[in-house]
Amino acid sequence: MYVETWQEIFLDKKIRLIDQRNDEYKVWESFAVDDALAESIHKGDSGP
């Protein structure tokens, strides 16, 4: 469920970026950064 929540956040953010800038390259660049951040946070919540 945690992963699904992050996917929903990413999708929402991705759509907003497309609306604001209409620039897929910047959208995917931001998406990749957010994905790495989410993975880091998820590992932190899961423990060492």
The per-residue pLDDT for range 1-48, each reduced to its tens digit, is 565 677 777 777 766 666 665 555 555 566 666 677 767 766 665 544
Domain housing 16 = 2-46
Q: Is 41 left (phi over 0), alpha (psi -120 to 50) or beta?
A: alpha
User: Looking at residue 39, what is its pLDDT?
Assistant: 74
- Tally of domains in the chain: 1
Q: pLDDT exceeding 70 applies to what percent of the chain?
A: 25
* CA atoms of 6 and 48, how far apart (whole Å): 20
User: Looking at residue 30, what is its pLDDT?
Assistant: 62
